[in-house]
Amino acid sequence: MTAYDYDLFVIGAGSGGVRGARMASQTGARVGIAENDRFGGTCVIRGCVPKKLLSYAAHVHDELADAAGYGWTVPDGSFDWPTLIANKDAEINRLEGIYQKLLANAGVTVHRGRARMLDAHTLDVDGERVTARHILIAVGGHPVVPEIPGAELGITSDEAFHLPELPRRVVIVGGGYIAVEFAGIFNGLGAEVTQLYRRDKILRGFDEDVRDTLTTEMGKKGIAIRTHADPERLDRQADGSILVTLKDGGILKTDTVMFATGRAPNTTDLGLDSAGVATKPNGAIEVDSYSRTSREHIFAVGDVTDRIQLTPVAIEEAMAVVDTLFTDRPRAMDHADVPSAVFSHPPIGSVGLTEDEAVDAGHAVEIYRTQFRPMKYTLPDRDEKAMMKLVVDAASRAVLGVHMVGLDAPEIMQGMGVAVKAGATKETFDATVGIHPTSAEEFVTMREPAARRG
């Protein structure tokens, strides 16, 4: 039998890679991991964690404005961007240290450098050659920028976390969840925000009621959302500002342009061809339901596979790989009914099928929907609405989808995710006693369908 340096070698120390390495090592396997950047990957270093910290900061603006309604006299506050960024950086450094400690405690051998596969079992890590019986690729993705003149003048979400100061004016290009999240952050911290999207409505792929509700609420906060708007070029002006010329001839002047126009897998120069690993046209690694690539002993998880780009999904995919290889419990991750959140202002929570997806799948559906002002906003008289929605199969009565826009939506949706995963019916929801007074109780008190389709 051929002797390998490792039973498993992991490329990438993000959330999926670290979890896979740790848990494999705890089964007694010899595990190595390579990372050429910081430990923690997109989520911890330049994604969901720092983004949510900035989102919390942006919400303070609303909290201060609401205080008077509850009898508080609060002096006019001032915001300091460098302080926020320094505190954020300290927290990210702390979390990175935890990731490093977890690997060390698990007995994983860490290789600092870029790994490249030389053949199906051999890798080069910055000049060091290692061999592995199994390989797990967990290298994530990166932001993509449109190929237009002056694109280098813009930034992506990666750079947004390290701006030296808060821009006075920001143009955000894109209509996905990253775009709307940063629109809320910059707006809440005091910047003038314009969001450009080339299609007719933001958040493609989300439920239509979610898209419409968020668009309305973002507009109330002063965020200018311009659809059918696509930049043609960027030009630096003498005063340091950036002139954005649109394809329709329109012109915007701003201080910062942020591109949130999609992400691509980090598969360049990994040696995939040398190892015989097949990829999709967009560069993503092709995998089966077990996260196995075209080479039986090589697996890939997380954003590099372009399935569901969520940190908990990458972690669960990695856990399934470990079970398959090292615990004699081969299994595939179940990608159905994965709950998700968007930390927009106000936030979104969703699980299951959208209304259109359910109808397109052949379901006859009943739609239960409500819209209201959360109790927290009554005394401050803030004009912000929440929207809650159930998509129900008319025949089986199964709840196919749950969607919410509004205060605490991500926290509420975790419980809804359990219900949908468990196969709860509308009658299960009806039989559940609500917690009063909360927004969440609306999910178990909606009785009359707002619409029927299919």
Catalytic annotation, residues: 436
Per-residue CA distances from 274 to 166, 271, 279, 295, 310 (Å): 45, 5, 12, 11, 29
Contacts of 359-362 with C-beta under 8 Å, sequence gap 24+, read 359/453, 359/454, 362/454
Alpha helices in 68-116 (DSSP H): 81-105
Half-sphere exposure of 107 (CA within 13 A, CB side): 11
Taking the C-alpha atoms of residue 310 and residue 314, their distance in angstroms, rounded to an integer, is 7
Taking the C-alpha atoms of residue 202 and residue 218, their distance in angstroms, rounded to an integer, is 11
Measured at the CA of 409, the angle between CA 404 and CA 414, to 5 degrees, comes to 100
- Phi, psi of 136, deg, nearest 5: -120, 120
**Please, which residues have CB within 8 angstroms of residue 330's CB and are 6 or more apart in sequence?**
290, 323, 324
Per-residue CA distances from 327 to 16, 28, 135, 316, 322 (Å): 18, 10, 16, 15, 7
Determine the 3-state secondary structure of 252 from DSSP.
strand
